[in-house]
Chains A and B, each alone.
Chain A
Amino acid sequence: LAKTTQPISMDSYEGQEVNITCSHNNIATNDYITWYQQFPSQGPRFIIQGYKTKVTNEVASLFIPADRKSSTLSLPRVSLSDTAVYYCLVGDGTPSSNTGKLIFGQGTTLQVKP
């Protein structure tokens, strides 16, 4: 299973764009990259998933370079309510295993200031 490395914490201000980078050097060919958001005392919530290049949805963008050894979650114009822990996960898409095992790392604590 691919291990992920993220910054422990980041600070930002309201209205700014925030980019959180995740390193996953031993990502497998069939692995997808998924990001989750977690608020205190709540379960994680899916943000976005991608395999390569760029994926965008209504809340975030995910940038994945050609070698797929890293990925960057981009949150446009953050607000105070975006203060949370963000997790990068790598896995799934392995046809032979079919186990769907997803391992969470330590995550990145994003603090948005007024």
Chain B
Amino acid sequence: EAEVAQSPRYKITEKSQAVAFWCDPISGHATLYWYRQILGQGPELLVQFQDESVVDDSQLPKDRFSAERLKGVDSTLKIQPAELGDSAMYLCASRRMANTGELFFGEGSRLTVL
């Protein structure tokens, strides 16, 4: 069964350092999402891609966060500099089309900022 791949699974960093997360969606899935989930809360949408284009990044803290999906396949989410409040699970999800069908989530990347 095809899966959404994410790496690293766990990341510990010190504040002010740079960190990057990678996501490889299910083949053929045009829509890709990055969510941030703080412990005890629901996932919060950070950015949505349709192919290589950003559809929605209204909740992305653009002073420190950036996301790209250059060839419309895999995607990278970067944080620079990391802050203590960025400690969370970063989830990537994909689906075949923008407005239909289920989301398939990866296992997530757990970030701890010290």
Which A residues lie at the B interface, using CB under 8 A?
34, 36, 41-46, 49, 87, 92-95, 97-107
Contact = CB atoms under 8 A, between A and B. Distances in A.
Contact of B55 (A36, A45, A99): A99
Given A41-B110, A43-B93, A106-B42, A99 B56 contact: yes
Contacts of B98: 98-100
Nearest to A105: B42
A94 B100 CA distance: 10
Nearest to A109: B40
Nearest to A32: B100
Contact of B48 (A42, A45, A101, A107): A101
A43 B42 contact: no
Nearest to B99: A100
Interface residues of B, number: 28
A104 B43 contact: yes
Nearest to B9: A41
A43 B95 CA distance: 14
Interface centre among A36, A46, A102 (most CB of B within 10 A): A102
Given A45-B105, A49-B102, A100 B97 contact: yes
A101 B56 contact: yes
Interface of B: 4, 31, 33, 35, 41-45, 48, 55-56, 89, 91, 93, 95, 97-100, 102-108, 110
A87 B42 CA distance: 8
Main secondary structure of the interface of A (DSSP, over half): loop
Given A99-B55, A99-B98, A99-B99, A43 B48 contact: no
Query: Which 9 residue pairs across A and B have the least CB separation, nearest first?
Result: A43-B105, A46-B102, A104-B42, A100-B98, A100-B99, A104-B43, A92-B99, A43-B91, A107-B42
B99 A98 contact: yes
Nearest to B91: A43
26 contacts: A34-B102, A41-B89, A43-B4, A43-B107, A43-B108, A44-B91, A44-B93, A44-B103, A45-B105, A46-B102, A46-B104, A49-B102, A95-B99, A97-B99, A98-B99, A99-B56, A99-B99, A100-B97, A100-B98, A101-B45, A101-B56, A102-B45, A103-B45, A104-B42, A106-B41, A107-B42
